[in-house]
Structure 1
Amino acid sequence: MSVPLAQIPAPHNTASLTLVEQLVQWARRRIEERVFRPGMRMPSIRKLALDKGVSRFTVVEAYERLVAQGFLESRRGSGFYVRERQGGAATLSELRPRAEALPAPANIDVVWLLRNMLHTGARPERSPGLGYLPARWLDGDLITNALRTLGRQSGMQMLGIGTAQGFLPLRQQLQTRLEELEIGASPEQIVMVSGITQAIDLISRIYVKPGDAVIVGDPAWFQMFGCFASQGARLVGMPYTPEGPDLDTLEALVQQWRPKMLVVNSVLQNPTGTSLTAAQAFRILRLAEAYDFIVVEDDIYGDLCPPGYPGTRLASLDQLKRVIYLGSFSKTLAPNLRVGFIACAPEVAMVLSNQKMLVGMTSPELNERVIYKILTEGHYRRHVERIRARLDGVREKAVRMIEKTGMKLFLTPTAGMFLWADTGVDAGALAAAGHEAGYLLTPGGLFSPQQSPSTWMRFNIANCGDPELPAFLSRYLDGVARRAS
């Protein structure tokens, strides 16, 4: 697959660099950011010279230096290709234990998006691939007011090490919130964690052994793939339809693989936006009981559902007998607070707490106290209502923008923050071209457990406000169509 050419911005602080050195710096930065990924063909010498306004000799010299430095390899008669370098960031396939019993894994790589999600230069409105709401949509005063309240209290209470299960008053408050969802969980059944990622990591460490099958959505939240792959799991993809998970296929997969667990978003699934009906939830639980596997329910987007939204939580039906329920405040309050929780059976909570102590002692109690203040002072509910209203206000505009470019939506959800769209082209190449143009886009291949090439792309409707985004997408898609005709 070739790297798409786009406007090549000049590197920063290049006044003392020769043109060759500038080209080398430009290419190295994009290789290290995994915009140009292993195996991709670099722009031809002629095209890059024309695009950059330099001689072909300059491009040849730059490419030869990159070959010498181990970033590129030259293939006679074909061009220059990005080389797979040793000692770089490991892909998920590299993290898996080597075992002859396991099939050869696909090249699963989530580093590209994770690194670019944290790129400070990207403005939210130019980052439709981000998984978070823009900061201007959130309420920093909720957090600063809670911190001020805590600052007026005795500092002695901040000097302890905390407990493995987390700040007790917050767990008691979460018990009340879960009751509103018809999920019964005592404080002893709740374990505080540093976000959903840590929750998945703890669960995988305890339950998953090399060779175990874990069923995940295809597509689904990509970061959890790394947690399971690092334990040697065999990731099995469960396909989705616009009505939700394909349960006939799920039953066939369960019969074939006898999985250790299933991980699913029951409400506003990332990235499709689908939610489980009561009938679907019942069928999943019947399969879990018949084939004896654990169900991990990730409800991180639950607070984005308006009252009366037609979505069913598995934990409300199962009452935490076989279901492990996950929640978090990262999407609605602040990503860097890193406060989430696990609700589960009492004996599971004890095991999770012990594992949490082994890998990180306790979670930061200060963050948990901040969340407790926000929840108990009564402002959180109104804050979430405002977020839902803002999402409702931009959803139709984002839908029209995507459809106007010629892309096709998987479905048009009535709640949540994501749209899943078929671009009709290689979404990885589109994302790379977007990066060159200053946009952070999320290619659909990242959401597949096998990371196979995909034409799908996830859009965050809160971050689609850049007025030049529709023109960029249309220009790129039209260009691909002209070249194909």
Structure 2
Amino acid sequence: MSFPLEQIPAPHDASALTLVDQLVQWARRRVDERVFRPGMRMPSIRKLAIDKGVSRFTVVEAYERLVAQGYLDSRRGSGFYVRERFAAPMPGERRATSDAAPAPSTIDVVWLLRNMLHTSTQPERGPGLGYLPSRWLDGELISGALRTLGRQSGAQMLGFGTPQGFLPLRQQLQTRLEELEIGASPESIVLVSGITQAIDLLARLYLQAGDAVVVGDPAWFQMFGRIASQGAHLVGMPYTPDGPDLDALEALVQTWRPKMLVINSVLQNPTGTSLTAAQAFRILRLAEEYDFVVVEDDIYGDLCPPGFPATRLASLDQLKRVIYLGSFSKTLAANLRVGFIACEPQLAQAVADQKMLVNMTTPELNERVLYKILTEGHYRRHVERLRARLDGVRDKACRMLEKTGLRLFQTPAAGMFVWADTGVDADALAAAGHEAGFLLTPGSLFSPQQSPTTWMRFNVANCGDPALPAFLGEYLDTVIRRAS
């Protein structure tokens, strides 16, 4: 399978990079972006020359330069290998605790987050992205709210704000939660900079080194690093096509006696499953019996259509043992960064105090913008349009993946994610996709232990590039032929 170099400069351009320079830059970028990991064997000189359409001399010269620059090691009779280079720990990386083995060397969370930002301008090339394309969102909702705020006195923007967040927005969120049959006063709500900060604050309050936390396996990968940074032990709860495996959960809580369970109740990332009422009741019974707190992440709840068969734990528990999290980053804008925690008032005060120790307050301007959007009545119609657009592409994306040879975990009826078995090493497929210009999300990132897997998450809103099925089909055919 061949992936050409970036556009080769015209020969008459004296300032253009030589083919050797281009090849060196290509390899350095792949090492820096952690596509090529320490200890990995580089393609042979012959293979890379064929793949890139250059001479063997060009490859040899490029490899020698990379050795001199400290990127590669040359091993006589074996080839060239990516050199182990010192690097400080990256934010969000999981570090092994005393009773956990180090994570294997695979494409990691930092690699994905970095490349998600690079792919944001071409979402159709990012079937692994975790958010909707910008063209699907309504920038006028935000700019209109900003214009309204701009006509008001600027003096109100000069203070620190309040630790729990802009009071009118918390009052509006109280009304929204009542629609979900969740009772929460403004004193029970703390505004935060998204779900990531919510998880971080709760981990700081609840967890100590050695505590066990049950998370989905698979589940949202960014929370793993925040929890592990407190020295807690991550325990994976397996999923079935019908949702979390509750028999396995019961065995896990009997063994580990966890402090906390973190779970998506609606349109779980990445499986797309949602809790039934029976499942929710059983989880709450286990939480009561084994005395652990449940953190319910409902970030995808607004993508769930009315009447959809899904049950929120907080609606049954009424925030006694459940801490409810919400956010608007998936439906409005990824960089608006306004989320919230709903919990008992005493705990809300402790969360606000912890928030002050971390970064004082959250930006009130963002909170005022969100308040305007929610109260002017346009948000509901906006999310209805998003659901309709997702409904219009979901079946097509699922059929494309199945036709390519992938096996779906289950066929989702709502939401943006599809969890699919590729049948091959998903990390290798993601690396090949990167070379071909696609951002893919391997299933290893959704595992608490970053275990190798053949599973991969796809965002149905970003699967429309006509070159995607051709790439997937060609790659899978190539791997199958090599195996046979």
**Fold similarity call, TM over 0.5:** yes
Structure 1 counterpart of 2:127: 128
Letter in 2 for 1:413: P
Structure 2 counterpart of 1:389: 388
Flag the 1:418–1:237 CA change in 2: closer, same or farther, 3 A. Answer: same
Structure 1 counterpart of 2:459: 460
Question: Is residue 165–residue 191 contact of structure 1 (8 Å, CA) maintained in 2?
Answer: yes
Structure 1 counterpart of 2:100: 103
The alignment's TM-score, normalised by the length of structure 1, stands at: 0.95
Question: Is residue 122–residue 440 contact of structure 1 (8 Å, CA) maintained in 2?
Answer: no
Calculate the aligned-residue CA RMSD, in Å: 1.8
Write the deviation string for residues 134-187 of structure 1: whole angstroms up to 9, x where unpaired: 011111111111111111111111112100000000000000100111111000
| Counterpart Cα distance in 2 of 1:239 and 1:11 | 48
Per the TM alignment, residue 89 of structure 1 is displaced from its structure 2 partner at its CA by 5.0
Structure 2 counterpart of 1:329: 328
| Counterpart Cα distance in 2 of 1:396 and 1:462 | 11
Per the TM alignment, residue 104 of structure 1 is displaced from its structure 2 partner at its CA by 2.6
Structure 2 counterpart of 1:63: 63
Correspondence list, 1:375-414, <5 A: 375-414=374-413
Per the TM alignment, residue 65 of structure 1 is displaced from its structure 2 partner at its CA by 2.8
Write the deviation string for residues 213-263 of structure 1: whole angstroms up to 9, x where unpaired: 111111100011110111111111111000000111111111111111110
Structure 2 counterpart of 1:19: 19
Structure 1 counterpart of 2:426: 427
Structure 2 counterpart of 1:345: 344
Structure 2 counterpart of 1:113: 112
Q: Secondary structure at the match of 2:314?
A: helix
Flag the 1:75–1:240 CA change in 2: closer, same or farther, 3 A. Answer: farther
Structure 1 counterpart of 2:90: 90
Moved more, 23-32 or 295-304: 23-32
| Counterpart Cα distance in 2 of 1:292 and 1:8 | 57
Letter in 1 for 2:109: V
The alignment's TM-score, normalised by the length of structure 2, stands at: 0.95
Letter in 2 for 1:28: R
Correspondence list, 1:171-182, <5 A: 171-182=170-181
Question: Is residue 327–residue 340 contact of structure 1 (8 Å, CA) maintained in 2?
Answer: yes
Structure 2 counterpart of 1:228: 227
Flag the 1:284–1:483 CA change in 2: closer, same or farther, 3 A. Answer: same
Per the TM alignment, residue 40 of structure 1 is displaced from its structure 2 partner at its CA by 2.6
| Counterpart Cα distance in 1 of 2:140 and 2:201 | 32
Q: Secondary structure at the match of 1:332?
A: coil
Per the TM alignment, residue 411 of structure 1 is displaced from its structure 2 partner at its CA by 0.4
Write the deviation string for residues 438-479 of structure 1: whole angstroms up to 9, x where unpaired: 111111111111111111111111111111111111111111
Question: Is residue 418–residue 460 contact of structure 1 (8 Å, CA) maintained in 2?
Answer: yes
Flag the 1:76–1:240 CA change in 2: closer, same or farther, 3 A. Answer: farther
**Runs of 5+ unmatched residues, structure 1:** none
Question: Is residue 8–residue 436 contact of structure 1 (8 Å, CA) maintained in 2?
Answer: no
Q: Secondary structure at the match of 1:240?
A: strand
Structure 2 counterpart of 1:72: 72
Letter in 2 for 1:134: P
| Counterpart Cα distance in 2 of 1:172 and 1:11 | 58
Moved more, 473-482 or 19-28: 19-28
Write the deviation string for residues 4-38 of structure 1: whole angstroms up to 9, x where unpaired: 86333258899444433322211010111112223
Write the deviation string for residues 75-122 of structure 1: whole angstroms up to 9, x where unpaired: 4443222233212553766645xx6x4233324731110000010575
Per the TM alignment, residue 288 of structure 1 is displaced from its structure 2 partner at its CA by 0.9
Per the TM alignment, residue 74 of structure 1 is displaced from its structure 2 partner at its CA by 3.2
Question: Is residue 92–residue 107 contact of structure 1 (8 Å, CA) maintained in 2?
Answer: no
Question: Is residue 92–residue 229 contact of structure 1 (8 Å, CA) maintained in 2?
Answer: no
Letter in 1 for 2:6: P
Q: Secondary structure at the match of 1:482?
A: helix
| Counterpart Cα distance in 1 of 2:3 and 2:14 | 20
Letter in 1 for 2:192: V
Matching of residue 29 in structure 1 with residue 25 in structure 2: no
| Counterpart Cα distance in 1 of 2:416 and 2:14 | 40
| Counterpart Cα distance in 2 of 1:119 and 1:217 | 28
Structure 1 counterpart of 2:5: 8
Correspondence list, 1:186-265, <5 A: 186-265=185-264
Letter in 1 for 2:112: L
Letter in 1 for 2:144: N
Flag the 1:14–1:464 CA change in 2: closer, same or farther, 3 A. Answer: farther
| Counterpart Cα distance in 1 of 2:204 and 2:75 | 43
Flag the 1:208–1:67 CA change in 2: closer, same or farther, 3 A. Answer: farther
Paired positions, count: 479
Question: Is residue 11–residue 25 contact of structure 1 (8 Å, CA) maintained in 2?
Answer: no
Letter in 1 for 2:440: L
Question: Is residue 40–residue 82 contact of structure 2 (8 Å, CA) maintained in 1?
Answer: yes
Write the deviation string for residues 267-319 of structure 1: whole angstroms up to 9, x where unpaired: 00000000001111111111111111111100000000111111110111111
Among all aligned residue pairs of Structure 1 and Structure 2, give the percentage whose two residues are the same amino acid: 80
Letter in 2 for 1:191: V
Q: Secondary structure at the match of 1:335?
A: coil
| Counterpart Cα distance in 1 of 2:392 and 2:14 | 44
